[in-house]
Chains A and B, each alone.
Chain A
Amino acid sequence: MKARSKFLIGSGIIVVTLLALAYVGFTQSKTYYHTITELSTLQGSALHQRMRVSGNVQAGSIDHLTGRVDFILIEQGKTLPVSYVGHDPLPDTFKDGAQALVEGKMMPDNRFVAEQVQAKCASKYEATPDGAPVSAPARNPGQTSTGTNARPSGY
């Protein structure tokens, strides 16, 4: 067999392996991003996927309970009750009126159970429209300037 065809077969094996790995990794970690308005229109399996939802924390809605923190996210007049069940302390930026991004799943009783909460103080961002730390090109603006308790894995 010619070297060229051997090389092509080898490449084929590598590419197929990587595609399989990519598919597995993809299904494990895909997260849907929805607005609160969209949530009410979701049906069937779409409701049970892992998702991220963002909104503002309704003033006075933060309720510290044993083992969880309840609050209400509001966006364009629509509200979403959220229970935060993660172990990490909530970020300092998480307070009334803050913009928050929650990650987790919808429960059948229309309550969102979040394992991660990121929050950003809204007023800060009105003051500086391009206030992300743009000078740190290798950093994610969302991470550097957000109080976050998301803890991505290493590597």
Chain B
Amino acid sequence: MDILGSVALLLAFLAAVYAFVAGIVGIVTRRPLITKSARNAGMAVFGLVIIAAACLEYFFFANDFSSAYVAEHSNRALPAYYKFAALWSGQEGSLVLWTFLLSMYAFLVLFFNRKKHPELMPYVGVVLAGTQTFFLTLNNFVASPFRMLGNMDAGGVMRLASISDGHGLNPLLQYPEMVIHPPMLYLGYTGFTVPFAFALAALLGRYPGEKWIHITRRWTMIAWCFQSVGILLGAHWAYAVLGWGGYWAWDPVENASLLPWITGTAFLHSVMMQEKRGMMKIWNVWLVFVTFMLCIMGTLLTRSGVVSSVHAFAQSSIGGWFVGFLIIIFVVCCAAYWKNRDYLRSDNQLDSLVSRESSFLFNNLVLLAACFAVLWGTLFPVLSEWVQGSKISVGPPFFNKVNIPIALFLLLLTGVGPLLAWRKTSFDALRRNFAWPLVGGVVAGVVAFIFGFRDVYSLICMILGVFVTLTIASEFFRGARVISSRDGSNIFTAVGELTMRNTRRYGGYVVHFGMVLIFIGIAGTPFNKDIQKEMSIGDTLNIGSYSILCQNFDAVNNDNYESERATLEVFKGGKSVMMLYPERRFFLASQVTETMVAVQSNPFHDLYVVYAGRSPEGGKPVIHAYLLPLVKWIWFGGIVVVLGTILALLPNRKAVLVLRPATETSWGGAISATGSAIGAVARRADAND
């Protein structure tokens, strides 16, 4: 099997190189047969990578510990789903996952567009093949997953060796999210390759118009959705496993996943400027380039330990390859831009400060500022070492100081932007659209203040959250009212009908609402409480309205781990409400200690209890209890974001009453934003993507 896998990987590499070279030859010589063969080679890569990945999975499921990778990352007793997930538990396998997902995207893109866009697709194929070539180079020649364990026998000949059981999967990774979080995040990282390939292709091929944006809009949304899910799952994993009562620490590896998400978000908004008004063409192309480069850089930061080397002691030699690839991408992008910059001239100018255009511009400005701040803070240890010779790291206060105001400003724009008209909005329209939501927001702010929301940022976040929710609700309501008055359906049916007629617009609103929920969840952070106490049996600890009685401490030992466990009874208002069992497990095989947090969650707060070990002085057990308000809203908001994105990906239902020919390019946003839903009804389905 190792030979089959290695050969498949090698053939995949050759196919990718062929697709790259033949693709260029096909473009230069304009011979369709060569172009076609390059495309077929590009699609074949996927099949070959499937074989390679399947071989590696076979080793895991067959418990074949002659494979070095399997021996390092699995053992016989490992449950099947962790064996499956162990594929991406190490460097070599993660890179295989990258290549696998990238090839899957490439296959789908090449397959679905095989009869379309004959001027554009050859360039797309070349860019995709180039990226695949890089990762397959790593898979084949730098970090091969098919290294076998070997012994030198008496005659000096290498023989295959096998060990009886593997070293096992790092217990910290043995958590359900291990199965799903890395693939989600990688689907995000790799997915941004598609818009990148189309943008670079359109620029290189001087492909006319905004078509590449129409073609890639859905691909970008898919990648963005996966990236969002990946980030949130990672946050949830950290929350559930690490035991410090938080979900985000501005850690370099977290930041690495956030950066392309930020620029991807900026791109999803600014493309609308190009579609509707022919503006910001240079900006959009560079946003896509930067997003892709940040994806590669994210992988670099995760793999190489360049930045986190202050507290991660592991190093790997793979960083240089990524730096080289980044430089190549940057040079290619610059060259393509410089050569074809005249093709990106803007059709329109900004007309008014109170317009949809300017809200998008501000949105992009602050998103990029956030991206820059996070990047700067993440890379600062490296930069300061180069410049000053001393390594300086910056902590959460830096990131929070900059990003909280940015996030709140974005939240404001989320409410204001979609209701502003293109070009120019009158004061009257402003008052009509915003008066009630604003009143609602202020009332909510007063109520929140009375209930003890005394942190200024959280208070602003509450006010804006309610404001945005009300603007979204009023958009749905106004559109639905028009439909229901016309066909007599009730308002709820009309909301459904309205949404399905313009999924992109209303799906977008649902995503915005999901973000509001996430923001409200985050706004609970300043009210976190925690208390730490040395406890003996019979002791009580009070936090918020709960009191926690320590009933017992015991040890749970088995072959896998030795565990210290606390049995705690939680009382509220004198009544016993639940039992919690926080644990601390010491895994024998890997000599790693893992905290098993006990969490009791409801919409108002999470009670989060950690058995923190024994105190430095007396050796008594220490219980650390946290009361974390509103955390659940974050995870719930994440689900809403996903549902909204799926909604926005659905094709539009044709309106029964079409007021304009379906082929005409519409400016529906402008019309509906002035208070009528006719524009929304008439908005053309994005039929060509």
Residue of B nearest to A118 (CB): B311
Q: List 27 A-B contacts (CB under 8 A).
A: A7-B353, A18-B373, A18-B406, A25-B402, A29-B397, A30-B395, A32-B391, A64-B616, A65-B617, A68-B616, A101-B310, A121-B591, A131-B170, A133-B170, A135-B88, A136-B172, A136-B237, A137-B185, A137-B257, A138-B185, A138-B234, A140-B308, A142-B312, A143-B238, A145-B172, A154-B628, A155-B396
Choose from A4, A24, A32, A136 the contact partner of B350 (Cβ within 8 Å): A4
Q: How far is the CA of A34 from the CA of B391 in the complex (A)?
A: 7
In the complex the two chains form, is A154's CB within 8 Å of B248's CB? yes
- Interface positions of B from 590 to 630, Cβ below 8 Å from A: 590-593, 612-617, 622, 624, 628
Report the stretch among A72-80, A85-93, A106-114 that lies at the interface.
A85-93
Does the CB pair A28–B350 fall under 8 Å? Answer: no
A118 CA to B251 CA, complexed, in Å: 15
Which of B247, B316, B351, B613 has a CB less than 8 Å from the CB of A154? B247
Q: Could you tell me the distance between the alpha carbons of A147 and B242 in the complex, rounded to whole angstroms?
A: 9
Whether the Cβ atoms of B257 and A138 lie closer than 8 Å is yes
In angstroms, Cα B254 to Cα A154, docked, is: 13
Contact B399 A25 (CB under 8 A): yes
Q: Take A133-B172, A137-B302, A139-B234 as given contacts and tell me if A33 and B622 are in contact as well, using a CB distance cutoff of 8 Å.
A: no
- Check A142–B311 contact: CB distance below 8 A: yes
Q: Which residues between 12 and 64 of chain A lie within 8 Å of chain B, taking CB atoms?
A: 14-15, 17-18, 21-22, 24-26, 28-34, 52, 54, 64
* A117-151 CB contacts (< 8 Å) to partner B: 118, 120-121, 123-125, 127-148, 150-151
A11, A24, A67, A89: which contacts B401 (Cβ < 8 A)?
Answer: A24
Give every chain A residue within 8 A of B622 (Cβ-Cβ). 89
Q: Are B308 and A11 in contact, with the CB atoms below 8 A?
A: no
**B253 near A137 (CB under 8 angstroms)?**
yes
Which residue from chain B places its CB closest to the CB of A121 in the assembled complex?
B591
Query: Would B616 and A89 count as touching, CB distance under 8 A?
Result: yes
Nearest neighbor of A1 in chain B, beta-carbon distance: B353
* B551 in the interface (beta carbon within 8 A): no
Whether B528 pairs with A125 at a CB distance below 8 angstroms is: no
Contacts of B395 in A (CB 8 A): 29-31, 152
How many residues in A have their beta carbons less than 8 Å from beta carbons of B?
74
Assuming A136-B178, A154-B246, is B398 touching A29 (CB within 8 A)? Answer: yes
Residue B162 is within 8 A (CB to CB) of chain A in the complex = no
| Interface contact B246-A33, CB-CB below 8 Å | no
Contact code string B158-178 (vs A, CB < 8 Å = 1, else 0):
000000000100101100001
User: Which among A18, A31, A99, A144 is the interface contact of B313 at CB below 8 angstroms?
Assistant: A99
Decide if A130 touches B91 in the complex (CB within 8 Å).
Answer: yes
Chain B residues, Cβ within 8 Å of A99: 313
Q: Which residues of B contact A26 (CB under 8 A)?
A: 394, 398
Q: Give the Cβ gap from B27 to chain A, nearest Cβ, in Å.
A: 35
Q: Judge if B40 is at the interface, Cβ distance under 8 Å.
A: no
Knowing A140-B251, A140-B308, A152-B244, the reply to whether A7 touches B90 (Cβ < 8 A) is no
The answer to whether B391 and A89 touch across the interface, beta carbons within 8 angstroms, is no
A28–B398 touching, CB < 8 Å = yes
Known: A89-B614, A143-B251, A144-B172. A137 touches B401 (CB 8 A): no
A22 to B406 alpha-carbon distance, docked (Å): 12
Chain B residues near A30: list those with CB within 8 A: 392-395, 398
B353–A93 CB distance below 8 A: no
Segment of B359-367, B432-440, B473-481 engaged in the interface with chain A: B359-367
Extra pairs beyond A28-B398, A134-B302 (6, CB < 8 Å) = A32-B390, A66-B617, A124-B590, A135-B88, A137-B299, A141-B253
Q: Do B591 and A34 touch (CB < 8 A)?
A: no
In the complex, what distance in Å separates the CA atom of A121 from the CA atom of B592?
8
Tell me whether A33 and B612 are in contact in the complex, defined as CB-CB below 8 angstroms, given that A145-B592, A146-B311 are known contacts.
no
Cβ of A142: which chain B residues have Cβ within 8 Å of it? Answer: 308, 310-313
State A135–B89 Cα separation when bound (angstroms): 4
Instruction: Given A32-B391, A92-B593, verify A25-B350 contact (CB < 8 Å).
Output: no
Query: Which residues of B are found within 8 Å of A89, using beta-carbon distances?
Result: 612-616, 622
A22, A144, A155: which contacts B373 (Cβ < 8 A)? A22
Complex alpha-carbon distance, A22 and B584, angstroms: 39
- A88 CA to B617 CA in the complex, in Å? 11
Instruction: State whether A88 and B353 are in contact (beta carbons under 8 Å apart), knowing that A30-B394, A139-B234 are contacts in the complex.
Output: no
- Against A, the Cβ 8 Å flags (1 = close, 0 = not) of B407-435 are 00100000000000000000000000000
CA A36 to CA B400, docked complex, whole Å: 31
How far, in whole Å, are A142 and B405 apart by their CA atoms in the complex? 29
* Interface residue? B216 (CB, 8 A): no
Within 8 A of A (CB), among B223-240: 230-231, 233-235, 237-238
Interface residue B502 (Cβ < 8 Å from any Cβ of A): no
Cα distance, A141 to B111, chains bound together (Å): 38
Q: Is the CB of B89 within 8 A of A134?
A: yes
> Hey, which chain B residues are within 8 Å of A132, CB to CB?
305, 312, 314
Q: Does B23 contact A (CB under 8 A)?
A: no
- Structural contact, A18 and B391, CB atoms closer than 8 A: no
- Is B103 among interface residues, defined by CB-CB distance under 8 A? no
Contact A137 B396 (CB under 8 A): no
Task: For the complex, give the distance between the alpha carbons of A26 and B353 in Å.
Answer: 33
Contact with A along B119-140 (1 / 0, CB 8 A): 0000000000000000000000
Task: Indicate if B586 sits at the interface (CB-CB under 8 A).
Answer: yes
**B235 x A138 contact (CB < 8 A):** yes
Q: Write the nearest CB–CB distance from B382 to chain A, whole angstroms.
A: 11
A52 surroundings in chain B (CB, below 8 A): 310, 393
Docked-complex contact B394 and A137, CB < 8 angstroms: no
Whole-angstrom distance between the Cβ of B243 and the nearest chain A Cβ:
9
Contact yes or no, A143 B398, CB < 8 A:
no
- Give the complex CA separation of A7 and B308 in angstroms: 38
Name the residue of chain B whose CB is nearest to the CB of A66.
Answer: B617
Q: Is the CB of A22 within 8 A of B616?
A: no
